[in-house]
Each structure stands twice: as structure tokens, then as C-alpha cells.
Structure 1
């Protein structure tokens, strides 16, 4: 078969076939009377072998060695090709992400493109200071893409950089809540923790609903942050978690203050008081827990708090009794200040 026919049937150009011949990779076994290359069936089979190995990313030199050396073991070479391909795909994905980030920001000119590239490089820095500087640098009227900021927020481990990113996300405009909401469903607990902190920085019904839903998260830290944020919004669903925080001594002062604020609603006051007094009488409550609960009672509406503290002033635990009596007296003084 002449070279032109081989090229048509194999899909390999005549130029490449001649190149294979010059390298000794696929040499036609015959020549016509006129001196033209003539390929045998075996030659054509070798062409397909070469093309198959080229499809794996092998160089022509590597292909020649593989076809000529019967003892050549492919495992090492294939392993190298896998690693090289993975590295290339990583670089290509990084490029694709960079292009999408630039496209999402809809820059009005090349100055905007350069700003986004600068931000991407800064956020990719190994230095927390550089990452923080990148997000706090003047924006030059170029909006920061929400998806880029949200991804950085959910991935950032350094607390200072994370705070700067949350600040930037909250001020970036658009639907910032939706951009990080998916983080609450992540299997990675650290991502869920970052997501709930980011959502806490937004106002509105959507953010409140997400925070309320996060109260059922299996991770205590997610539940606590959701309770603090939703409690500040007046969500009574946070009460059980806030009470648990007082019991456990985690942000207990802040939790007690929020319980007091929520108790200003008459419909919630009895619920909070019942939860606190129930924990006080729990068999597993040790002295430190009961003291924290007693102190938390002082944050409740005075009429309810005074009665509960007066009862505790006669508690069998002397420390609890003394603290309760002191707090009851303090509330009494507030209610009936001395006449000058």
C-alpha cells in the first residue's frame, strides 16, 4: 500500500509517516519500481501501535524503545505519565478557575482583569499576611467575584485571614449568603464551621433560616456559633443550645446574656427558666455547673430571677447558696434603690 493510501486509511498524515520513517520508528518494508514507499500489513499494524502509544502521552523516543525492547517494562513509564498528567490537569484546572473568576467579575477593562489576577495570586499565597493583604487591598472599583470570595472563606484556616474574607464577602454585594450556604452541607466539619461564621455576618430572613437549621448540626462548634448568631436575632429555637453552653462553660457568659434577652419575651421566659432550673436539679450537675446556672439566672427578668435565687439561697451547696443570696440581694437593690 502506497503512503497516500496509508495516510487516508490510518488518519496519520503523509508528513508524519515520513517523519516516522526518518526516525526508524515505522519504515516501509518495500519500495515500488518507481522508488515509492510501500507499506505491508505488518507496517500498518505498527503504525497503529505507534498511534496508540502516542495517545497515552509517550514521546516518539519512548515509543521506539517500547516497541523494540521486548524486556521493556511499562509500569514505571506509565506511572510517570500518570503523575505528569495529574500535574498538567491540576495546572489546567487552576487556569480554568482563574478564567472563570475573571469572567464572573465582568471587568470593564484590562485593569479589572489585572486586579482579579492580583487577588487570585494573593489568596493563593502561603503567607497568611499576604492573603489578608490581598483581600483588604483597595478594590479600584473592581467588584470582587462572590464565588471566589466564598471559596476562599470556606477554605481559609487562619482566623485573621478568615475574618478579613468574611468582611469582604459581606460587603461584596449580591447574594453572599447563597454563595456560602452550600458549606453547611459539607462533609468536612471545618467547612461547616467556616460557613456558619460567614452566614452570621449577613442579615435577612435567608441567613436567619440557615442559622436556625444549623442548630441541628452534629458538630457542637457549629451548633454553638449558630445559637449565638440566631439568638441575637431573637430566635427562640436557640434556647436549648444556649442553655447547654452555660452547662458546659463554653461562651457561657454570652449565652446567659442572650438567654436573658430572649426571656424579655413573656412567651419565652418560662421556657428559659424551666430549662435552667431543670439543669440545676439534674443529678449529673456538679458544683461548677450549678454555679454557672445560678449566675445565668441573674440575667432573667427580675421577678422570675429573684424568686428562683431566693430559693437557691437555701441550697445545700454553700457556694451556690452564697452566690444566689448575693445575686438576689443585688436584684432587690436594683428594684428598690435607696432613697437619697
Structure 2
């Protein structure tokens, strides 16, 4: 049976405020007791509702965390697949090609799978090729000297290398001293001075830059501090790292020691492009914690000011605390090619 106090049905009241007002307006002890009982009942009902709502929010939160973890794992899987394809797109030291469709589609298309070349041991093939060429040159050289010895002409013998080279694919040339050639970028070292005087590192850099601009102005070359052209990928990597350090040395928030973690907050990219375009933005206002903003700013300014294609994706860089050094190295090479002559 519904209880009525002062003409009000207590079961119809669903607000604590209304019950407290009714309690203040009631003077009869029994009626006040009824109001208090209803108030305790309502408070218990509201407590149950709050507990259910909190439990529901906790479940939704757990589901959201699990979904984010699944999304992050999926993005990581796609990214690794994309970088793996990029690493296999050319032999070691060659230009890499990134296929973003692998990241977007989660897996290579059937056409890509069918067109994928068979796995090859490129190192072993290169070794075998060099061994064959060395044997071929040795055979032809012996044949040339043997033919000269049998010519019957008195005096010093001169082997005819041209006649032997016409029928072979591995040419033989006389042993002469010549300037070394860069195996990586095709730059030629400058000739030594006539008095054989040693040059300073700066002078060697200047001479090598002049030769590079003369022979191939559109293709950069890397030089070390000894004046020699780099021949291995490791030397090129070290030279590029030294170049980045020298251009960002005055920036307190930047310390470049590698091509991975040193670039994971975007500050190194910002410092590198700011060094060449100091009026493009205020570097001192940047915060290493605003990683997404830093990456977006650096990639955008590099593209707008220096025509450097954004080879890295902002979302990918934000997700990774330890970026793939090969991808960062490839992108930073674009900075060197576009900007190394700007200073």
C-alpha cells in the first residue's frame, strides 16, 4: 500500500531534494519516519544505479583499451610488413622503395605475391661474379703476354690488350697508376699537388666538392675528414651522421648519436631544417613531448622550402619510440642531397 504524507505519495518522489523538503515540512513523528524510510530506500536505489553505471564504464574502458592494443598491434604488423618489403626492394646499399599500399591493405595483394621475385643470395652472387671476372682477366692477361712473347720480334715486348678484349666481357687493361674512383657515387678524387704537399681536411673537402660539381653536379658525394671518397655503406652512414651532428650542434634540445632513437621526438628533423631555414619557424618554442606536431612541422617545412619529399609518415613515427634506422637514414639522405651545398 502506497504511503502518503501531507497528501504526497512517497513512491512518486524520486529525488532526494524533494524528500528532504517534505521532511522539513512535516512535523508528525510517524510521518517523518515514513519520509526517512523512503529517503533511505531511494538512496539505496541510487547507489545501485551508480554502481551499475560505474561498472559499465569500467567495462567500456577495458574494451577500449583492448581495442587500442589490437589496433596498435595491427598497425605495427602492417608497418613491419611495409619496411620488410622496402628492405627487400633492392640489394644492400641500393635505393629503397616504400610501398604504402602494404600498410593500408594489411597484406600484399595477390598480384604482388605472384610478381615477387625468388629469393636470391645477392652477396654470394656478387662474390662469384667477381671471382669469375678476376679469373677471366688473369687468363686474358696471360694470353696477351704469351702472344707477345711468341711474336718473334726482338726487343721489349708489348702485349696487345685490345685484340684480346674484343672477344671477352671482362676487359684487361695495363697496370697503370690512376686516381681512385668512388664506387658508390662516381666521384673522382682530385690529383695530388706536384710538390706532394699534404693538404688540410678543409682544403681536401673543397677540392673534392669542386671535382664533384664538375663531373656530376646533380649527384652528391660523401667525403670523410681524410679527403677520401667513401666506399662502404658503413662509411657513408658515419659521414651522414657526422654531417647531421655538425648542422645541429647549436641546438640544446637535440643530440644526434644514431639514426633511430635520436629522431623519435621530431626535434632532430626540426633542428636540421631550421639550420638552413631559420625564419621558417621558432625552434625555441618547440617541445619534445609534442612529437606529432614536431614531425608534421619538420616534414611540411622540408617539403615546402627544400622540395624534400616526405618519405616518412607522421603517424608511423608517432607510434614508434625506436624508429627503423634504415627509413630515417634514407629520408635524411634527401636532406643531404638538397641542402649540403646551401651552407
TM band (smaller chain) = under 0.3
**Higher RCO (CA < 8 A, seq sep 6+):** 2
TM-score of the superposed pair, with normalisation by structure 1: 0.22
Compare the two structures and name the one with the higher helix fraction: 1
TM-score of the superposed pair, with normalisation by structure 2: 0.22
